[in-house]
Amino acid sequence: MKQVISSENRPIKMWLDDIEENALLQAKNLANLPFVHKHVALMPDAHSGYGMPIGGVLATRGVIIPNAVGVDIGCGMCAMRINLKDADTESLKQIMSRIRKTIPVGFNWHKEAQDEKCMPQIEALPSVVERHYEKATKQLGSLGGGNHFIEIQQGSDGYLWAMIHSGSRNLGKQVADYYNKKAKQLNERWHSAVPASYDLAFLPVETDDAQAYIKEMNYCVDFAFANRKFMMERMKEAFLEVFRGEVAFDALINIAHNYAAWENHFKENVLVHRKGATRARLGELGIIPGSQGTRSYIVEGLGNPESFESCSHGAGRVMGRRQAQRELDLKTEIKKLNDKGIIHGIRHQKDLDEAAGAYKDINTVMANQADLVKIKVELEPLAVVKG
């Protein structure tokens, strides 16, 4: 832990030295909520979000806050070790070409519904999920946009790795928007003590609305995992085609970093909201990606109770998307990747929103959370597909 802010009703425990002004204001809003458990935790990648900082961890008593989970419910990472020591540039290009043909990116999705057996199974679909289920079957196995990516990496363990960052696509957004709107309406009707300007409308857990949200949220978490698994199968197929079947794959590592879950902390059962934060229980494997062009990490949790057994979900932004497009130099950012021999997709100024220069230094981020995780494998990028 780097510092503690004690000026609010509850402490703010921070694993970073500096934080942007708006993110700190949002953290103070969290610390002044009447149902906060113990303190607010900010991971080393923390930056401004909508209502709650991304990279924030909030434990609550008796309420759930849709906006403290966010719109991309279940967004997370999966990674898989491949029993190959290396791959030449031509093979990597062939693999990435096959991936682009089988995995839609950005706003694109499949024209036809994918295998429904790969969708999360449940006795009865929740109402919002049910309304958007048919579209979700076509978005299964699609990457999405923003900071989502597919990457092939060289591990410090001597093997190649495949990594995917993606979420619940439009399904999670529909659930999040619906229940956040409902929470805002109810909070206004109740004359809630939580100011509307906080954008942290809540639902008491004993209410039907809260129970419905939790059910729908959990389905979206499962759908996001199913989405990543589906894409990882397409990656496997690409490797098998290029290397003519002479390749095997280790078990999948999967983590989510946008969700809320019941957990026991400081001897009390509470709802832990992680918005851009990863669970890091003692001995638990996790994934912390860097920016495009910098290394990522397979880590093992240390179970630090002060962070609610959490760690960062990535490097964290230092520039907004439009700011990066305005201020970063295209030639410089391309050169950074080319000098490392990384196969990438930065071609135009608009692509700079996901350039390495838009993100924090991953080395500093990892150093700041040495008490939260220990590094198992370092992963250097070889080829990247961005959403």
Structural domains of the chain, with CATH:
3-318+359-386 (3.90.1860.10)
Residue 294 · residue 304 · CB < 8 Å = no
Spatial CA neighbour of 351 closest among 384, 382, 312, 318: 384
Query: By three-state DSSP, how is residue 138 classified?
Result: helix
Give, as one character, the DSSP assignment of residue 343: B
Q: What's the first-to-final CA gap in the chain, in angstroms?
A: 33
Q: Which residues contact 115 (CB under 8 A, 6 or more apart)?
A: none
* Catalytic residue flag (residue 37): no
Cα 106 off chain centre by = 16
Q: What single string gives the DSSP state of each residue in 294-338?
A: S-EEEEEE---GGGTSEEESSS-BSS-HHHHHHHS-HHHHHHHHH
Give, as one character, the DSSP assignment of residue 118: G
Q: Cβ of 250: how many Cβ atoms within 10 Å? A: 12
Per-residue pLDDT of the chain (387 residues; tens, 9 = 90+): 999 999 999 999 999 998 999 999 999 999 999 999 999 999 999 999 999 999 999 999 999 999 999 999 999 999 999 999 999 999 999 999 999 999 999 999 999 999 999 999 999 999 999 999 999 999 999 999 989 999 999 999 999 999 999 999 999 999 999 999 999 999 999 999 999 999 999 999 999 999 999 999 999 999 999 999 999 999 999 999 999 888 999 999 999 999 999 999 999 999 999 999 999 999 999 999 998 889 999 999 999 999 999 999 999 999 989 999 999 999 999 999 999 999 998 999 999 999 989 999 999 999 999 999 999 999 999 999 988
- Can you read off the two tokens belonging to residue 126? 């929740």
The residue written with tokens 């700041």 in the block is 368
Set 39, 132, 313, 344: catalytic member: 313
**pLDDT in the model for residue 245:** 82
Residue 149 · residue 386 · CB < 8 Å = yes
Query: By three-state DSSP, how is residue 221 classified?
Result: helix
